[in-house]
Amino acid sequence: MRRARALALLTLLAAPGMAAEPEKIVRSVLPGETVRVYIAYHAERDCTRSGEIRLAMIEPPAQGRLFLRETTTRPGFGYNNPRHHCNQREIAAVEVAYEASGKAEGLQRTRYGLVFSDGQMRLIDAEITVWAPPAEPKAE
């Protein structure tokens, strides 16, 4: 019920430019490690940050945790975008990271939204495989 309400809220708040289908992300990580799931940026014409980006958790992973952390990236604005010149430098961004618990293994599914300061949202479905490499065979 709570999940359905969160999804309904995100749908209502969605800007006209939001994609109808969530973006699908697939990653893998070792137990106890952290992996970048997604990177997001929102820039003004002068390449400065255009407000805050928030994480709206819809369906958290069964094990481990998803969180935001500050970073920088080279954006990929299209040639006709007035921010295209920003592609030549690093700009402020946030990355969504997943930290696997030390004993977690298996497929972790999560759904979240990235909410931008201008009201736009991006919905993400992520599948993160937490796997431990097989033990080395013992030499006899």
pTM of the entire predicted model: 0.78
* CATH tag, 2-130: 2.60.40
Domain ranges in the chain? 2-130
Q: List, for the chain, all residue ranges whose pLDDT scores fall below the cut of 50.
A: 1, 4-17
| Residues 22-31 pLDDT 10s | 999 999 999 9
What pLDDT, on a 0 to 100 scale, did the predictor assign at position 39? 96
- Confidence (pLDDT) at 125: 97
Task: Map residue 2 onto helix, strand or coil.
Answer: helix
pLDDT the model gives residue 103: 80
How many angstroms separate the CA atoms of 47 and 87, rounded? 9
Structure confidence by residue, pLDDT tens digits, 9-23: 444 444 444 556 899
